[in-house]
Amino acid sequence: MAEARAKILSRSLMVRPSHWNPEIRDSHGGYIGRPDAWWDEVALAWEIDSFDFHFYRDDYKRTVLRNTRYATAGITVVQTLPSQLLTDPAGVVAELNAAHLAASLRPRPPVNLVSRAA
């Protein structure tokens, strides 16, 4: 449900995501993550992190480790709560547009799009 809302909201962005749910790996083939949305040209990831899926200790730990992998690979990440898609869509659009601009101003990190999920 949240991803469907995100796809609709993405129509308002200056630059739409190039991929949804792709697998991203580092230059050595190591798994980094599978973001909800991905802008390959600037290595920007968008994660819509629901409390329901990150409530338990192990789930939260996986989220923290994923975000650390993004950071150490040089990937810019925007995290959005599903509720923000409903309560502050303009704010989400502004954050994503700003993050895309910031990501475009730095060299693209050496990460690879492995699968091109829909």
**49-82 residue pLDDT tens:** 865 554 556 778 888 999 999 999 999 999 999 9
C-alpha to C-alpha distance for 88 and 114, rounded to whole angstroms? 32
Where is 115: in which H helix or E strand?
Answer: strand 111-115
Domain that holds residue 106: 2-115
Task: Please state the domain count of the chain.
Answer: 1
Average pLDDT taken over every residue of the chain = 91
